[in-house]
């Protein structure tokens, strides 16, 4: 996986559907899901940095599955694209909740 993208800009950005990959290197469709971190943007900077480090640690454990991830601080939302591995979305979501208890699974496709 490439590095976690953290965006906090209030400037317009290219739509996520154009930045996030839709297929893996073998042409298989990727699966996406979102995690919400209520109030993260209002926390002190050291808390936000600690949360980012926890997210990166979880992604390192799932390096075989995570293809793309973007944390939007303005929306307190983490978008994750993973390879089509049964159950991996829930494993990652639970690992994130264990590391950051306020994290909430928003949706998965």
Per-residue pLDDT of the chain (109 residues; tens, 9 = 90+): 555 666 655 445 677 778 888 998 889 999 999 999 999 999 999 999 999 999 999 999 999 999 999 999 989 999 999 999 999 999 999 999 999 999 999 865 5
Residue 30, Ramachandran bin (φ over 0: left; ψ between -120 and 50: alpha; else beta): beta
CB contact set of 57 (below 8 Å; sequence gap of 6+): 99
Q: What is the model's pTM?
A: 0.84
Judge whether 13 and 76 are in contact, CB under 8 Å: no
C-alpha span between 29 and 50 (Å, rounded): 32
């Amino acid at each position: 996986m490439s590095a976690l993208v953290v965006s906090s800009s209030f400037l317009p950005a290219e739509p996520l559907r154009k930045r996030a990959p839709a297929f893996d290197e073998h042409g298989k469709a990727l699966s996406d899901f979102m995690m919400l971190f209520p109030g993260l943007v209002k926390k002190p900077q050291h808390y936000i940095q600690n949360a980012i480090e926890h997210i990166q640690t979880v992604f390192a454990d799932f390096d075989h599955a995570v293809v793309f991830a973007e944390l939007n601080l303005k929306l307190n939302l983490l978008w994750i694209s993973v390879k089509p591995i049964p159950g991996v979305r829930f494993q990652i979501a639970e690992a994130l909740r264990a590391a950051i208890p306020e994290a909430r699974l928003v949706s998965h496709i």
